[in-house]
Each structure stands twice: as structure tokens, then as C-alpha cells.
Amino acid sequence: MLDNNAFNPDKLSILEYKLIKGQIDTPEDLVVDHIEGYNLDNTLQLSFNLEEKLIKADFKVDIRTDSKGKNPNEALGVFHLAFIFMIENLDKLVILNKKNVVELHPHLGNALSSITYSTTRGILMIKVQGTALQNFILPIINPNKLLIK
């Protein structure tokens, strides 16, 4: 049984993050002024090392320009970021159920997805500067939706 009062953000820290992949493919004939929006696909996957009190968050983002047919080909950005979190009291926030599936305290899940998503937003804003994706900003979402995918 998870302890409802066990979550404390002060016991959570980011140990490391890595940009695993950061690639932007821009067709030679792309006219940036024709871009009207962006199509976005993203996934968050959490991995656990319960003994070391670590959680890895793999966040993948695919961004495609949408020119509503004005450009023959669209630009594509593919990003993969990995974050390593340490949680001092992870044993009180995670349990392994009878099916050997990790059950996560909802506040911890929300914190991990929020931190991962918002930090990625800032990293992407820097990485797309001066490219065909320069006006793209990762939209604000309910971070709990990332945990459902």
C-alpha cells in the first residue's frame, strides 16, 4: 500500500539528463513563411531501479511542420531526452504489485512528468533556434496525460 503522505518534492532530484537524439531534417525547398503550425507526437517511458532509488524518464518528441500543402515537403524534428532522477524515499512511493508491475504514487508520477516535460520545453526552445522549427514551442499540457500513454 502506498503512503498518501509520503511524497515530498524536496526528496526528488535530477542527477543527470542527456540529449540522446536531436535531429532536424529540413527540405531544401521549404519556405518557412508557409508554415502554419506543427504536428506533435510524444511519449514518456519510465524505468525503475528500486535498489538504487533511481528513475529514468525517456522522453521522445517528433515535430513536423504543417504548411497546409504550401510546401511540397515538411520539416521534421526528432528528439530523445533521458533524465535520471533520484528519490530518497522511493520505497514509500513505489510498489511492485502481484503482476510484477510498478505502481507509482500519483504525486510522484505528476512531478516526474511535469519536470521532464517542462525541462524539455526549454531545451527544445534553444535547439530549434535558427531552424525551420524556430517558432515551435512545446505546448502546455496536463502532465498526467503523459503517464497514460
Per-residue pLDDT tens over the stretch 77-95: 999 999 999 999 999 999 8
The residue length of the chain stands at 149
- What number is the average pLDDT over the span 50-66? 97
Residue 140: pLDDT over 90: yes
Residue 57 lies in a domain: yes
pLDDT at 56 over 90: yes
Domain count, the chain: 1
| pLDDT above 90 coverage of the chain, percent | 88
Contact 55, 90 (CB under 8 A): yes
* Residue 70 maps to a domain: yes
Please indicate, yes or no, if residue 4 is contained in any of the structural domains: no
pLDDT tens per residue, range 90-115: 999 998 888 988 889 999 999 999 99
pLDDT for the residue 149: 65
Distance CA(89)–CA(111), nearest Å, equals 14
Residue 1 banded pLDDT, cuts 50, 70, 90:
low
Q: Write out the residue range of the structural domain in which residue 53 sits.
A: 9-148
pTM above 0.85, yes or no: yes
**Nearest C-alpha neighbor of 116 from the set 26, 21, 42, 40:** 42
Which CATH number goes with the domain that contains 69? Answer: 3.10.420.10
Domain membership flag for residue 1 = no
Residue 16 per-residue DSSP state: E
Is 91 a domain residue?
A: yes
Instruction: Please report the pLDDT score of residue 142 as a whole number.
Output: 94
What average pLDDT does the chain have? 95
46, 55 contact by CB (below 8 A)? yes
**Residue 122 CB contacts under 8 Å (≥ 6 apart), including other chains:** none
pLDDT of residue 44 exceeding 90, the answer is yes
